[in-house]
Amino acid sequence: MKHYSKPKKDIWQGRVTNKSLYLHEKVKYTPLEEIPEPPKKSIALLGYACDEGIKRNQGRIGAVKGPETIKTSFGKLPNHLPSTVQLYDAGSITCKNEDMEAAQNALSKAVTTLLDNKQFPIVLGGGHDVAYGHYHGIKNYLDSKKEGQTIGIINFDAHFDLRKNTDNNNSGTPFYQIAMESQKEDSNFNYLCLGIRKDANDRSLFQTAKDLDVNFILSDTFQIEFLDEINTWIHAFIKTVDKVYVTIDMDGFSSAYAPGVSAPSPMGFTPQIVLECLKAIIGSGKLISLDLAEMNPKYDIDGQTAKLAASLIHYVAHNLFPTNGTV
């Protein structure tokens, strides 16, 4: 594949126990096309090593190194997954010659392949343009089943990422692109944003969100003390769709927790509220795939943002596949 890099064994390092007590001991470094269909659903980590969308959106580049950095931090974490659940590093989609659209297309095909092979894809960005390719990979998979299943997008983010792509596609346009395509297909655009900040979106973006009937919770309400109300909104949204795709923009977190991002701010949300919301989403049984975007190692401090991203993946993986007493 032109826009693909095979998994690298040397990024998976950590404490050695020979008992698979740590995730770097459990993971299998398997090229995308060689991942087998397991007897039980398993997890595949796939990188999206591309920050061309961030560059086009006038952000600070460096997120191209995010996937490998997150995998390295993830590998050092303890393994509590059941022995029956496989964990794969499926390599990374790459961006060649600034051709972001080709990278998104390659990502779409890769996600469809993983879902066809009974994997739960966790995609690691890269810019938030990852969402456009990821969404279409899910959509193509569901369309192939000819069951007419609808997708709900839940975005943990300070930004709507609903910028119009009049000049070009970039990391700020993916959900606008999806919305426009949904209109052409005469289908619903099901989009819920959690953590939106007024100081991170101009008036035109709020108007676009209103015009597209976007559901959102502002940052001053996206707080742990309002968890019951937030979960009520999440459950109401999930009831309207068949499958849920979650995307987490790391720049939505306060820079106290995530300094290594493309657009940092101290005014973001906390990890605790995100974990509680993820618990509710996973509990619905409708989560089909997830990604993290905008982790930028170039600006990270003591690996803090990479560790946060890794811990989020750890939480999702272990809540999707609890041990039930055996590892």
Return the H-helix or E-strand segment holding 196.
strand 190-196
End-to-end CA distance of the chain: 35
Separation CA 163–CA 207 (nearest Å): 11
157 known ligand binder: yes
DSSP states of 28-59 as a string? Answer: EE--GGGPPPPSS-EEEEEEEE--HHHHHTT-
- Asked whether 130 and 158 are in contact (CB, 8 A), the reply is no
Separation CA 103–CA 36 (nearest Å): 24
136 known ligand binder: no
Q: Is the dihedral of CA 79, 27, 318, 275 positive or negative?
A: positive
Both structure tokens of 65:
């190194």
167 known ligand binder: no
Q: Which of 152, 141, 53, 57 is nearest to 104 (CA)?
A: 53
Sequence-distant (≥ 6) Cβ neighbours of residue 220 within 8 angstroms? none
Return the H-helix or E-strand segment holding 305.
helix 304-320
Separation CA 215–CA 233 (nearest Å): 9
314 known ligand binder: no
Both structure tokens of 127:
């810019």
- Say whether 200 sits in a helix, a strand or coil: helix
235 known ligand binder: no
143 known ligand binder: no
| Helix axes of 130-144 and 174-184: crossing angle, nearest 10 degrees | 30
Distances (CA, A) of 136 to 116, 122, 129: 14, 15, 12
Residue found by looking up tokens 């990278």 in the block: 103
Binding residue numbers for Mn(2+): 128, 157, 159, 161, 249, 251
Binding residues: 128, 157, 159, 161, 249, 251
